[in-house]
Amino acid sequence: MIRTCLLLAFGLASQPAVAQERAPFTGFSVGIQGGLVERKTSDHLIGIPFRERDKDAAYGAFVGYDLPLGPLIAGVQAEIASGADPVVATDGQGTTNSVDPKWGYALSARLGTAVASRVLLYGRAGYAAERTKTVFGGPMILVVTPLPGPKWRGGLQLGAGVEAILAGRLTARAEYRHNRYSGSYSAQQGLVGIAWRF
């Protein structure tokens, strides 16, 4: 009888610990990320093309939530991103088109699978937007109506990445993205980040 009671008590005491266990890469997370971004613009002004691309550093912060979906891990993420130096395109005749990204945000979902107990491969899809200021300058600016001030450019975001557990609830990730904004403006990003899960 005493032995039975001891076994029952041990079983009840161990239940909370079991309940607290959860699948890797699930739950809420917050983190920071940074890397390299290549922005490209191909706007037109009265039929004249202005095309240019430029590379710059990128950084930001994110918050997300992931949960198990059968053998997969599904999640959502919201993030804010830094601005960058302007992408300055020219028509070759002295007129320039400067697209200056001030800051941005993204809302996305991801779906992944664990290829090992500590490594997750995933794909990402969502919506990304940047607050940009477009300024034309040079000879052509005298004969066209000035463009409005800062405006939002938004569009589809697609990407893929890998996330690995470093220690406990700390994870690291590396990710590639392509953001297709409105107005013939796009960006490719290579990012690395650190996340804390709780």
pLDDT score for 45? 67
- Residue 8's pLDDT is 37
Q: Please give the backbone phi and psi of residue 67, each rounded to the nearest 5 degrees, phi first.
A: -145, 155
Q: 138 - beta bridge partners?
A: none
The answer to whether the beta carbons of residues 113 and 102 sit under 8 Å apart is no
pLDDT on residue 47: 67
Q: How many CB atoms lie within 10 A of CB 182?
A: 13
What's the pLDDT tens digit per position in 93-121?
Answer: 777 777 888 899 999 999 999 998 899 99
Task: Kindly state the tokens that stand for 175.
Answer: 């990710």
Q: With b meaning 16 or more CB within 10 Å and e meaning fewer, what string describes 62-96? A: bebebeeeeeebbbebebebbbbebbbbebeeebb
How far CA 117 is from CA of 76, 93, 163, in Å, comes to 21, 58, 11
Confidence class for position 7, pLDDT limits 50, 70, 90: very low
- Domains annotated on the chain, with CATH: 23-197 (2.40.160.20)
Encode pLDDT of 125-163 as tens digits: 999 999 988 777 776 555 455 556 678 999 999 999 999
User: What is the pTM assigned to this prediction?
Assistant: 0.80
Residue 101 token pair: 């990204």
Q: Which residues have C-beta within 8 Å of that of residue 120, sequence separation ≥ 6?
A: 24, 25, 73, 112, 113, 114, 162, 163, 164
What is the average per-residue pLDDT within 168-187?
92
Q: How far apart are CA 42 and CA 185, in angstroms?
A: 7
Strand partners, 188: 38, 178
Per the model's pLDDT, the better-predicted residue between 189 and 89 turns out to be 189
The per-residue pLDDT for range 46-90, each reduced to its tens digit, is 666 677 788 899 999 999 999 999 999 999 999 999 988 888 877
> For position 10, what pLDDT does the model report?
45
